[in-house]
Amino acid sequence: MNDNFDKKGGVTMAWLPATRRGRNELSRLHRDMDDLFRGFLGDWDWPWQQRVAWPALDIAEDENNITINAEVPGCKAEDIDIQVKGNTLTISGEKKEQEKKEEKGYYHLERSYGSFRRDIQLPSDVQSDKIDAACKNGVLTVTLPKAEQAKSYKVKIKGE
């Protein structure tokens, strides 16, 4: 007779030894694997790598406008391109390297240069022909007026 059945034909539970693996152990393994891949493939752009999106954005919405502030230090207005297609706003540009020569000693540079692009899904339709953008002190401010059909209206209810 099988050990998992009692004499009346019912099923009994068998207790199995369980080993508990600590969460810290699994987390450490995950970190070690990430470090290994970063060491070999660190300069490649992989979709699973968590990178901070640049430029950093603040997005605010009120009844009439959507306002986006983007940090673009070192960029000039002529280095930035803004486009709206459907409900997607695209901010792209390039932070250009300034050429400097050092005659004596050494020159150390830690600032980043290169191109960037952010696609922002807008929460409502906007009036594309009335978008306003300004770049001042390393902050790009884009004000997108909402389309009339996207604005909310309060409906008055008539009483008896």
Could you give the domains of the chain? 57-97+113-150 (2.60.40.790)
pTM beyond 0.75: no
> Looking at residue 80, what is its pLDDT?
93
Cα 18 off chain centre by: 40
Measure the CA–CA gap between 128 and 147, rounded to whole angstroms: 9
As a whole number of angstroms, the distance between CA 82 and CA 27 comes to: 41
pLDDT of residue 132: 96
Q: How many residues are given for the chain?
A: 160
Q: Averaged in consecutive runs of 10 residues, what is the pLDDT profile of the chain (160 residues)?
A: 54 52 68 73 54 80 94 89 92 77 67 82 91 94 90 81
**pLDDT at residue 126, rounded to an integer:** 93
